[in-house]
Structure 1
Amino acid sequence: MPLARSLRLARLHPPQVLALGFIVIIAIGAFLLNLPIAFHGARDLPFLDALFMSTSATCVTGLSVISPGEDFTLFGQLVILTLVQLGGLGFMTMATLVALVAKRRITFKERLILQEAMNHGSVEGIVRLIRRVLLYSLVIEAVGALLLSVRFLLEMPADQAIYFGLFHSISIFNNAGFDLFGMFPGRPGSLIGYVDDPFVNVVTMVLIFLGGIGFIVIDDLLHFRERRKLTLHSKVVLSVSLFLIVFGGLVILVFEYTNPLTLQKLSFPEKMLSSLFQSVSMRSAGVTTLDVGGMRQATQFFSILMMFIGAAPGSSGGGIKVTTFAILVGAVIAMLRGKEDIVLFKRRLARDRVNKAITFTLFSFFFIILGAMILSVTESYDFLGILFEATSAYATAGLSTGLTPQLTGFGKALLMAMMFVGRLGPVTLAFALTPKHEKELVRYPEGKITIG
């Protein structure tokens, strides 16, 4: 693992290694996408656009200033796909694979970096988990590619169908949301052309769900028969995720039921399927079967809230994470009941978990609001659309109302920064930028302030 070894010699902390690793991958990706063999057309691709696409792919966001299917060559598309895979699994996971194949020992420092990258509770068993993560990803993406390829065979040549199946399976499972349908003139982007296709909808929803709950939960589910129980983390992730999917589907169905630009023209079963699809996808995946720009403002604002919550820790999804949301809701319920402890599934949560959840949420909220305020000055667009785009970038959700292709150079740079912070995580980034953490030697007397 040459990269990890050189970084170790520089005595970088794990968060710093992760931040620098993502920056290096983004820079390499931008260089490759800027090559003439990566881009169609008479003009060269501006480096800022190449950097934006590389950032979006590495941060598994899916926002695009140009169409991957229409504007990139096969080489460019494969670069995007590789960046998505690296960004989804994490460069340290891929580096570990190389080390395992080379039969090289994983050092303790590298295990700490893997723990940080996977958002795992401890170093113990982290290499074993990485092996499973690689296996799970390969199997899930292969099955998804096979199923989608079979469906695409009905409308395109075999070689193209297989390529489309593989590309979209990897993109969707890693919650990236890039698609290639822009190469067909006059055809809508994303999966809008399959709004009435239950097979594509169900396969895509399963890929999104598995990619969004995180590898720790997948591992827990696969070993349920031998362990006979789920961890608290898995219980919270699964219960909150399922609740948000059902609740979100109902809200979208109600708000969009009579909207002629989205659900009105569909039959009732298709309305229900499409509403459920948007609910599954909106928190992190970036693919859609409806025109997001044509949705009612109430639905767009609801989507902003869902994107803000995001997916699960240890997944490629963004947002504040469903576990953070569960802790905040638990804190509110405990306060209303006059309880001191936050209890989930008959387990009391440590105070540091609550403090971290509050810190993460407030940092994310203010970062998104600040980004939206700045964009409202630099971009000529309605504020709800700007807030939607800023949230989508930070939460690495990838949904767009149409602003991203119209961004100014400054707007592109700002969204790149938001995608990077959102993928890395504000807490991890804060630790990466802080040179040293010293234990407090003084504890001040307790004081009281009035609240409410």
Structure 2
Amino acid sequence: MQKLKEFKFFDTLSKKMVAGFVILIVIGTVLLSLPMATTPGSHSSFINILFTAASATCITGLTVVNTATHWTTFGQVVILALSEVGALGYMTFAVLLFNIMRRNIGLSTQLMVKESLNLENLSDTKSVMRYVIGLSLLFQLGGLGLLALDFVPRFGWHRGLYVSLYHAVMSFCNAGFDVFGNSLMDFRSDSYVLIVTMILIVAGGLGFLVWRDLLLYHERKRLSLNSKLTLLTTMSLFVIGFILLLITERDLKLLPAGTSWFNRTVNTLFLSVTPRTAGLITMPTGKLQAGSLFILMVLMFVGGTPGSTAGGIKTTTFGVLMFQSIAQIRGKQDVEFSHRRFSQANISRALLLVFLASIVISVATLILTQTEKIPQGFGLEYVVFEVLSAFGTVGLSLGLTPHLTVVGKIVIMLLMFIGRVGIFTSLYALSKRQAKVNLIRYPAENILIG
């Protein structure tokens, strides 16, 4: 009976979370449908408006129209607001409103926050929320100030502060929208802008629980197992991705001749960071080597950290399975890391997540190969890259998104939604089955594997 009650609880909670994101997308669609949201002469079909609202709410950044030229300042601000709320979670703003009104947070609200931020204990809700709001303001305002040092002299005070704010928010939220028209390609020789942007991307993708652990380390003198695994996996992927991209891109020879060694290194670092669900680019993705595209697809699939502004299967999932594989190869029964043992429930959940993600990606890829046209010079990677970008809420593209059919746009929207809300949350919300307690257990028997 207890398991049945728990299942019903999570089922209801998941439906509320899914409904919240759906409502945000609907509100965004209505606002972007207003005449003041589009520039004169620009026409927006309903499906394109819905796609943009979904991409912003799911902090993806895939666009069917050019954000800089198609949307007015009002439309761009709507996209900015949707990305902010979508990244931090609408429950964060609900709690902020409660605090401003000096009202106590109810149990149901705390449970929603706990689920949205992947917290283990309900008691952590209030303290973590303070870190979420505080760190978000700190990094985004800090990013605004640092970027303004470069953008204000370039564009003047009004335009400079606007683009500084826009890109500080989008970088921290790992959203990928831009108001320059070609992402950051005009700034690939500006190492300062790229370094600031990378810091914001990593800060947003690292996760608020990890930041809390790091900030409290001087008091606790220890990090949680989650934070240790996150930092190790994040750094490993970052370094390995950087080294492999240096090799596959031959030190970024596609950059203009005369580009300094330092700037080539910064651009390669940026190329290693941005697939972690940021979506900002400094060079045309379609001109990258095949090996580089494969590396980007792997990084997009992994994504960022649970409880962060990033998507993907998450670094902790990848880390758990990595140590599980090492333990199996060594013939060890327990999966150990940092003098701790991962529970079997953790390992099973990680395996299930990767399996379900693979199924979702495979089905979406199959559908898009039937509905979309692959241009000459590209192969299956043209579709797979876009699918992984949508599922990982990344926003990188080989050029498919602007030419999607209606069916293709629906598929990509569903991928973005599942990637942001989470596979388990989506399944819980759609499931009508109830958990059953097994009263009979059959004898175990082995089968041939491998």
TM exceeds 0.5?
Answer: yes
Aligned residue runs from structure 1 range 1-400, under 5 A: 13-182=12-181, 189-257=182-250, 260-262=253-255, 266-381=259-374, 382-400=379-397
Q: Distance in 1 between matches of 2:336 and 2:255?
A: 41
Q: Distance in 2 between matches of 1:438 and 1:320?
A: 28
1:3 matched residue in structure 2:
none
> Secondary structure of 1:153's match?
helix
Aligned residue runs from structure 1 range 432-451, under 5 A: 432-435=429-432, 436-451=434-449
Unaligned runs of 5+ in 1: 1-9, 183-188
Q: Distance in 2 between matches of 1:320 and 1:230?
A: 22
Q: Following TM superposition, by how much is the alpha carbon of 1:260 offset from its aligned partner in structure 2, in angstroms?
A: 4.8
Q: Distance in 2 between matches of 1:136 and 1:173?
A: 10
CA RMSD of aligned residues (A): 1.6
Q: Following TM superposition, by how much is the alpha carbon of 1:11 offset from its aligned partner in structure 2, in angstroms?
A: 10
Q: Following TM superposition, by how much is the alpha carbon of 1:437 offset from its aligned partner in structure 2, in angstroms?
A: 3.1
- Which one is further off, 209-218 or 12-21? 12-21
Q: Distance in 2 between matches of 1:380 and 1:265?
A: 38
- Which one is further off, 438-447 or 277-286? 438-447
CA shift digits 1:17-65 (9 cap, x unpaired): 1100000000110111111110013253111001000000000001011
CA shift digits 1:333-382 (9 cap, x unpaired): 01111011111111100000000000000111121121111111111113
Contact 2:324-2:335 at 8 Å conserved across structures = yes
Contact 2:42-2:70 at 8 Å conserved across structures = no
1:406 matched residue in structure 2:
403
Q: Percent identity?
A: 37
2:5 matched residue in structure 1:
none
Letter in 2 for 1:451: I
Contact 1:173-1:207 at 8 Å conserved across structures = yes
Q: Following TM superposition, by how much is the alpha carbon of 1:329 offset from its aligned partner in structure 2, in angstroms?
A: 0.8
Q: Distance in 2 between matches of 1:12 and 1:328?
A: 27
CA shift digits 1:170-210 (9 cap, x unpaired): 1110000110002xxxxxx1111111212111101110001
Q: Distance in 2 between matches of 1:270 and 1:445?
A: 62
- Which one is further off, 124-133 or 323-332? 124-133
Q: Distance in 2 between matches of 1:131 and 1:292?
A: 38
Letter in 1 for 2:168: S
Unaligned runs of 5+ in 2: 1-8
Q: Distance in 1 between matches of 2:431 and 2:10?
A: 14
Q: Distance in 2 between matches of 1:439 and 1:136?
A: 43
Q: 409, 422, 446: which is aligned to 2:419?
A: 422
Q: Distance in 2 between matches of 1:440 and 1:201?
A: 55
Q: Distance in 2 between matches of 1:82 and 1:363?
A: 31
CA shift digits 1:217-269 (9 cap, x unpaired): 01111111111111111111111111111110111111112665347763322
Contact 2:251-2:268 at 8 Å conserved across structures = no
1:185 matched residue in structure 2:
none
Letter in 2 for 1:332: S
Letter in 1 for 2:382: G
Contact 2:61-2:393 at 8 Å conserved across structures = yes
> Secondary structure of 1:208's match?
helix
Letter in 2 for 1:237: T
Q: Following TM superposition, by how much is the alpha carbon of 1:428 offset from its aligned partner in structure 2, in angstroms?
A: 1.3
Letter in 1 for 2:441: R
Letter in 2 for 1:54: A
> Secondary structure of 2:155's match?
coil
Q: Distance in 2 between matches of 1:259 and 1:200?
A: 18
Q: Distance in 2 between matches of 1:190 and 1:69?
A: 10
Q: Following TM superposition, by how much is the alpha carbon of 1:294 offset from its aligned partner in structure 2, in angstroms?
A: 0.7
CA shift digits 1:56-83 (9 cap, x unpaired): 0000001011111111001101100000
Greater relative contact order (Cα < 8 A, sep 6+): 2
- Judged with a 3 Å threshold, the aligned counterparts in structure 2 of structure 1 residues 265 and 325 are, in CA distance, closer, same or farther, namely farther
1:186 matched residue in structure 2:
none
Q: Following TM superposition, by how much is the alpha carbon of 1:15 offset from its aligned partner in structure 2, in angstroms?
A: 1.2
> Secondary structure of 1:190's match?
coil
2:6 matched residue in structure 1:
none
Contact 2:252-2:268 at 8 Å conserved across structures = no
